[in-house]
Amino acid sequence: MPDLTSTPSAPSVLFVCVHNAGRSQMAAAFLTHLAGDRVQVRSAGSAPADTVNPAVVAAMAESGIDISAEIPKVLTVDAVRSSDVVITMGCGDTCPVFPGKRYLDWQLPDPAGRGVEAVRPIRDEIERRVRDLLTEITQSP
């Protein structure tokens, strides 16, 4: 596992889910909101949707974060290669693996087809995990 605190530049995190329309968008938005320029944040999907899930947009707005302008992006080898930490959320084997990267798999329900009420607990769990991750990767040695 690489020591992310000793790198001269900000650590980089890539969040990946199948459609890049829900879980990975929420995680990226929370990390961007909480970390500012202390962490480089990316998100992508193995089979990106056309738009971000409207229930996800609404749930994030309740947390004071506007992701309405976000557009799902396709997962690329370069995105993985240029990230220190890669967090998958239901895309499994479709994410390329490179030596020296840290890979985490967050088992979270897919918000696709669910209303805001069902998305809220997923959002809250993602926020908790993102806060823990941020503490871990930005700690001083």
Task: Say which residue the tokens 């985490």 belong to.
Answer: 104
| 91 is known as an active-site residue | yes
| Residue type at 79 in one-letter notation | A
Q: Across the strands, what pairs with 15?
A: 43, 87
| 96 is known as an active-site residue | no
Among 4, 16, 17, 108, the active-site one is 17
Among 31, 35, 89, 91, the active-site one is 91
Among 21, 29, 39, 95, the active-site one is 95
| 95 is known as an active-site residue | yes
Supply the residues annotated as catalytic.
Answer: 17, 91, 95
